[in-house]
Structure 1
Amino acid sequence: MGGDELPGWLMDAKQPQLQVRVVAPDDIAGATLAREIHHSLAIPGGHFRAHAMVTASESHDTEELLRTMIRQLSFSGEMIPQVLGDLALHSDKTGVEQCLDNLGEVDLVTTIVNYLQDKRYLVVLDDIPINSAWDCLKDALPDKRNGSRIIMITADEAVAGAWFSHNYRSVSEEGGLVGIKPQRDDLIKRITKEGQDQFGVIAIIGFGGLGKTTLAMQVFESLKVTGSHFHAYAWIAVSQSYKVEVLLRSIIRQLSISVQQIQHVLQLSASNQDIEVVEQLLDKMREEDLRRTIIGHLQDKRYLIVLDDTWEISAWDSFKAALPYNRNGSRIIVTTRNMTVAHTCCSHNSFCNHIHEVQPLSTRQSMKLFCNRVFGESACPGNLIMLTEDILRKCDGLPLA
């Protein structure tokens, strides 16, 4: 991530929605980058009114992660009394800590949400190891369309994909694209080939840890940054335990569907366009209403939607019903471990369909990626070559799995 572009992204008034920048460097570079951003740009009284940096690898305990965030956010000492009222009977450190210890996960999340409701915030999440950490933290970070920003550093592509599904911007260093760039370029060429106005599905297939999400993310990000081929973009992480309505609402938010369109589906008067009212409407919409809203918005648009980590045919059936089969050159990218799912997604009659099988890295590519991540450079120290080669033989083309 270039330092010159970071301040502009953090303070871009034209992008008021909550955004996350996902960075995938080696561990040392990532931690250093996170601390530099936090200490140099998150200044009380400046652009961001609240800031925190949480290192998730220090604890897999979700409640402790939330307590750490509260301690960081309460730098001025007013947070606990302000949010908890009668629960915070003491202003001294011992009282505050005792109060935090008595709060469960739901109360901790509520505390953070209440405090951040009217604030533009910057949160740095360093070394996020597992999706459950994201599931815990995401509910505590509200999107009030006020320019708040999150910077996350993770080496796990599944975690990055989960963040990316919420319309957050992801940035990966070129060094992490070993073996990915040629495949990315080939898929982009296939997707944007002129004269292919039929609807098409690209299924990216491969077993866990092979780089399906990373490849899809690179294709999606490259096309979105260019911004000239498709009119609408959305990314959702389906996973094994998905809720259709939750993910359909995510698509609507990412597509920036207008208040008028939502109210039209619900047959309401278009009198109130406040974002909080919109969120209330979305929460009340049934699955069929959500589908109709998406279809109405996408019907005449060339769109690109990614369904990441799709495990079951039933999941594909649930979401394809909300995505119109228009003749505008629209594309859906599906990542899956299941060849049956891949074939089902591509079963409708279109020459634009394609199944892409991700292959394990070659020995040379594995060595390069492993050394980039572990040593910070593509060359392996001479005294560790034999040990590294032994490790890579056991990894069988998956050096980061």
Structure 2
Amino acid sequence: MLTTLAVENYRSLRRIVMPLGGLNVVTGANGSGKSSLYRALRLLADASRNGAVAALAREGGLQSTLWAGPEQVRKDRPVQGTVRTGPVTLRMGFAGDDYGYLMDLGLPVPIRSEFNLDPEIKREALWAGPFLRPAALLVDRSNREARIRSSGGEWERAGHQLQTFDSMLSEFADPERAPELMLVRDRLRGWRFYDHFRTDADAPARRVQIGTRTPVLSQDGGDVAAALQTIRELGPHGALDEAIELGFPGSRVDVVNTDGRFEVAFHQHGLLRPLSGAELSDGTLRYLLWVAALLTPRPPELLVLNEPETSLHPDLLPALANLVVTAAKEAQVIVVTHSRPFISSLQALSPDLHTIELVKDRGATTIDGQGPLDEPPWKWPSR
């Protein structure tokens, strides 16, 4: 389980060190930095597939995603530009009880190339335990060079130089010399993100699909019928029916199989025939998608949900909260939301809910009520 998330100079996240629990809610007003935090987590996951640089490009490049305010902010002076004293840097990392990892991206060294706007990975580090200490480092990368700590405690060269745009998470696969690196890489690749399912008339979830066993719902929800049937066959007995009854009393959902093509059939109290996926209201379909995502028979280590309450009627929020709390029994969950009624529903079901409220201070995102001494221990290494 992650215990700390740290981000620096990413959009409004000038510097944030966030403690995490088992079930976490990140909330705050519009523009407070919730979406930036969600995207930062996705960038960390992208690093495990060597996609962090490409993901930044899709957001407009490094210059568009960097903190836009001054390098130093003093509360006794108005916000104003100053002469930069340090290098341009975008840093993000996490720590848990067993391992921690961080990445530091910066501007490229000018060369004769058409890719001079691509950010470079300046530093990466993997360490054992919840705190970065020199003695705890396991794999350390500086620019193109990486080194691995041997079983005897000595440093060894990794064996080849890295490209400036390649992460050591994706480029090293040595189960003997760096098994911890492979373990952390696989963990990051297993993180699961769900963000604003489509429910419009042409949404993939409304179409009939060829069905195969689907323990993990796809990002677009197009295999929702197969995912629901997989939950019915492989998930906890009665969990699917209970979730539907809680959200829509007197209703049930079936999956119709016609020559291998699966379709949702929603039986609603008072109707003479079931409704197909194409006929469902946006809210009903969205709730079915969350049922398929959160009752997964193959839970991840980390599940991140971005505003799952969107387009749901307030009466459905307790049922959705029950799904989230159920998922948190098998996975660490981070929910990004600004819905107070939804948070209240989660609090009623989970007294140990860890709530993090983001606020803006001079354009920078901070955690409400968190002072310098309240932060988890965190240290960024020098380049």
Q: Select the structure that is richer in strand.
A: 2
TM-score, length basis structure 2: 0.31
Q: Select the structure that is richer in helix.
A: 1
TM-score, length basis structure 1: 0.30
